[in-house]
Amino acid sequence: MANEKIHVKDREIVIPGDVLAEGMSYIPSGKAIREDKNIISVSLGLTSIKGHVVKVIPLAGRYIPKRGDAVIGKITGSAKFGWMTNIRCPFDADLPIAEASHSYLDTNRYPMSKFFAVGDFIFANVTEVSNRRFVRLSARNRPYRKLHDGIVIEVSPTKIPRIIGKQGSMIKMLKESSGCDILVGQNGLVWIKNDDPEKQMIMVNAIKLIETDSHKTGLTEKVAKLLKGGK
Amino acid sequence: MGMKSDKTLIVKGKRLDGRGAEDMRPIKITAGVIKQADGSCEVQFGETKVIAAVYGPKKVLPRRYEESTRAYLKVYYFMAAFATSERNRPGPSRRSTEISKVIKESLANAVDLDKYPQTEISVYIEVTNANAGTRTAAINAASVALVDAGIEMRDIVTSVAAGKVEGQVILDLMQDEDNFGQADLPVAILPRTNEISLIQMDGDMTPDEVKKAFGMCIKACQKIAKLQREAIVNKYKQEGGNNDE
Amino acid sequence: MNSKEDVSLRKYIASLLKKNLREGGRKPFEYRNIKIETDVLSQANGSARVKFGDAEVFVGVKVGLGSPFPDTPNDGVLMVNGELSPLASEDFETGPPSPRSIEVSRVIDRAIRESGTIDTSKLCIEPGEKVWMVFVDVYPLNEDGNLFDAGLLGAIAALKTARMPAFDKKTGKVDYRTLTKEKVPLSEEPVMCTFWKLDGEIFVDATRRENKVADCRLSIGLNKKGNVCAMQKGGEGTFTDTEVFELVKKAQSLSKDLRKHF
């Protein structure tokens, strides 16, 4: 084990091509790969080192859908099978009629737009991603559903874990201190609802702050202060 | 190239702006300059200024460019109307179309296109002030913008030109040296492995001079790569202070 | 403007406006933080980089030799061009200029031309044969709304720093790389205030999000005296005559603040 070497510390910013470690005893994870003896980063990211596991957590990038993801989507149109949605990814996502609601939707009797109109938002589960182009959603079972009113904002999908926080601590604080309903989609869309538009705006600001300051110390305190100051 | 100059370009080993043969112009690289874009970067080599923006991976437009097993990398190099000494008509020219193509090919090998099948990654580059070396500055900017956008790559891409002026091989030509010199040789490399992904040349060089020029470029690219890396790290430092929980 | 797909965003922005509020904490008639840098590009005769918050515009002025239009043989030529480059937004595309970019070009052009900003008679070298052509190219770098006000402010800031290239009368040749101390002859400095209307509420300096869901907008160009030199209504919504008169007055007072940035 003479040539085993690690070149980075924990929580260091790395870019593609950075050699993170040399030697066969290191194990790549996340956006790190092995190339011959070396572990290299293939993405802009933050390192996480646990023993001999060298992981790179991405700091930027668009959403690429995965089966099982909870996402927020916007209805963009309808067809015989159901509705087309935009889930902010390179592919269209379909919401079949049978998967759209826990109750029966009589689309023979009523126009499709009675149930979901263009511009409506849904909270849904990605049930299928085949050959990358074909994405299917379901909003049949709770908590998935149509989102009534509220506002949807865009954040970087890589910042979603920070908005949720450790064991959901951040999202819990956001909800409790403001009385807003909040749903977070892994595709980087966040739905906020409160009858008071000012409270909605303060929550938008709080979430934008988490997005831009996600690496800074004392983030939780800063967010708490912002929420308090706005009351 | 090949025009006669009324002034001597190298005097006692010093170039017009005081540089030695192997000196580059002052370099400034800034990441994240366009908020609308997924990734962006501004690069200056002396008076040459370029800005690059990356959008994607996104839906392929037009659809016929879609590739089933990998991403379609779209690269456009534009020259702003006010970037050249005489006004340049906006819109693509034969020159800009060729440069877009060679830039795309110099980047494609480093980008993990297989990771994003049936999508498009767009790279747009605008030269805002041209003083030679715009395509090499463009590659440096595009590469940082791709990193900034979180696109997966096996390495960054780094570029600079060498040339020949009054019989001497020199690095990073400026306008007068490009216009009145004897050769221009832009090169791009993947700095981790020194693989060469862009080679163009026009002029007159001996095989030994070609070898010397490549050597200079590769050495210089290693320095530029450090600045590209710093630009990205600085963006996060400014945004984030430090990285503690 | 008024994108049907953004129902919830429209509702949200309207509800804030009804409470005299806006995203980012601004008041309806408050501009974002404005920053202007001039002489930023060495190849241009004059240049400016203007920021309205996150919205950023580059303007470059180029002066070149050309021949006059047959109907105005004693006048130089002014050309204003807006390039909505795809760098600045995913909504901008490559290819021939879109109707939107042509509108931006023409509205900024009218404000400059009709206010008599440039005395084109002073740009004549040889009547009917040789005149100076002044090109103003406006390039958004980051699209975040209000292209008209930022574009015109940048255009005038760039023109104010623009200097004529060296010209050899004997040979009739221009040395584009040498700028003289002579300035481009300016006799006016128009500025523009654009107002947006959403659900009956009126505000200025819309961001990209606000612009997307507004019903309509009205751009008012004003000269130094405070007279109107250009107007353009955009979007499918409508204004009342009373609103227009009030907005002209409002524009007069707002334009004074905008001028402080020159």
- B3 C-beta neighbours (distance < 10 Å), count: 9
Q: Which residues of C touch A200 (CB under 8 A)?
A: 12
In a domain, C143, yes or no: yes
Q: Where are the domains of chain A?
A: 5-58, 70-147, 151-229
Is residue B13 packed enough to be buried (19+ CB in 10 Å), middle (13-18) or exposed (0-12)?
Answer: exposed
Please report, in angstroms and rounded to a whole number, the separation of the first and last CA atoms in chain C. Answer: 30
Cis omega (within 30 of 0) for bond into B57: yes
Do C236 and C1 touch, CB atoms closer than 8 A?
yes
Q: Which residues of C touch B35 (CB under 8 A)?
A: 54, 142, 144
The contacts of residue B109 (CB under 8 Å, 6+ apart) are: B190, B195, B197
Query: Any bridge partners for residue B147, and if so which?
Result: none
Tell me if residue B103 falls in helix, strand or coil. helix
The contacts of residue B40 (CB under 8 Å, 6+ apart) are: B31, B32, B33, B34, B51, B52, B53, B54, B145, B148, C87
Count of residues in chain A: 231
Q: How many CB pairs under 8 A join B and C?
A: 95
Looking at 3.30.1370.10, 3.40.50.10600, 1.10.3980.10, 3.50.30.50, the CATH number of the domain A151-229 comes to 3.30.1370.10
**Same topology for domains A5-58 and A151-229, yes or no?**
no
Q: pLDDT 10s digit of each residue in chain A, 231 long?
A: 567 999 999 999 999 999 999 999 999 999 999 999 999 999 999 999 999 999 999 999 999 999 999 999 999 999 999 999 999 999 989 999 999 998 888 888 899 999 999 999 999 999 999 876 789 999 999 999 999 989 999 999 999 999 999 999 999 999 998 899 999 999 999 999 999 988 999 999 999 999 988 877 788 888 988 888 754
CA A46 – CA C152 distance, rounded (Å) = 42
Q: Which residues of A touch B110 (CB under 8 A)?
A: 16-17
How high does pLDDT run on average in chain B?
Answer: 94
Q: Which residues of C touch B85 (CB under 8 A)?
A: 43, 176-177
Do A20 and A14 touch, CB atoms closer than 8 A?
yes
Residue environment code for A57-81, b if the CB has 16+ CB neighbours within 10 A, otherwise e? bbbbbbbbbeeebebbbbbeebeee
Q: For C85, which of B40, B78, B82 is closest by C-beta distance?
A: B78
Q: Which residues of B touch C81 (CB under 8 A)?
A: 81, 90
Measured between CB atoms, does A106 come within 8 Å of chain C? no
Residue in the structure block whose two tokens are 């005296």: C225
Residues spanned by the domain of C178: 7-259
CA angle centred on B194, ends B189 and B200, rounded to 5°: 35
In a domain, C31, yes or no: yes
Predicted pLDDT at C8: 87
Are the beta carbons of A60 and B239 separated by less than 8 Å?
no
CA A136 – CA B60 distance, rounded (Å) = 19
Mean pLDDT by 10 residues, chain C (262 residues): 77 94 93 97 96 97 95 95 94 90 95 94 94 96 97 98 93 90 95 98 97 96 96 96 97 97 92
How high does pLDDT run on average in chain C?
Answer: 95
Look up the CATH superfamily of A70-147: Nucleic acid-binding proteins (2.40.50.140)
Element (H, E) at B228: helix B207-240
Do B78 and C85 touch, CB atoms closer than 8 A?
yes
Tell me if residue A115 falls in helix, strand or coil. coil
Task: Count Cα atoms within 13 angstroms, Cβ side, for C241.
Answer: 0
In a domain, C2, yes or no: no
Do A215 and B243 touch, CB atoms closer than 8 A?
yes
Q: What is the DSSP letter of B26?
A: P
Task: Count Cα atoms within 13 angstroms, Cβ side, for A215.
Answer: 22
**pLDDT tens readout for residues B191-239:** 999 999 999 999 999 999 999 999 999 999 999 999 999 999 999 886 5
The count of structural domains within chain C is 1
Residue in the structure block whose two tokens are 């200025």: C204
Query: Any bridge partners for residue A191, and if so which?
Result: A152, A183
Phi, psi torsion values for C33, nearest 5 degrees: -65, 125
Which tokens belong to C112? 């400059």
Residue of A nearest to B144 (CA): A15
pTM for the whole structure: 0.94
Q: What is the DSSP letter of C59?
A: E
Give the CATH number for residue C209: 3.30.230.70
Q: Which of the four pLDDT bands, split at 50, 70 and 90, describes residue B118?
A: very high
Which tokens belong to A147? 């989102």
Residue C95, amino acid: G
pLDDT at B241 over 50: no
Distance from CA of B136 to the nearest CA of C (A): 18
In chain A, alpha helices (H): 160-164, 169-178, 197-212, 219-229
Cis omega (within 30 of 0) for bond into B62: yes
Predicted pLDDT at B30: 98
Q: Where are the domains of chain B?
A: 18-240
Neighboring chains of C (3 or more beta-carbon pairs < 8 A): A, B
Tell me if residue A87 falls in helix, strand or coil. coil
Check: CATH 3.40.630.10 for A5-58?
no
Residue of C nearest to A148 (CA): C8
Q: Which of the four pLDDT bands, split at 50, 70 and 90, describes residue B240?
A: very low
Residue of B nearest to C89 (CA): B36
Are the beta carbons of B90 and C83 separated by less than 8 Å?
yes
> What kind of fold does domain B18-240 have according to CATH?
Ribosomal Protein S5; domain 2 (3.30.230)
Helix axes of A197-212 and A219-229: crossing angle, nearest 10 degrees: 160
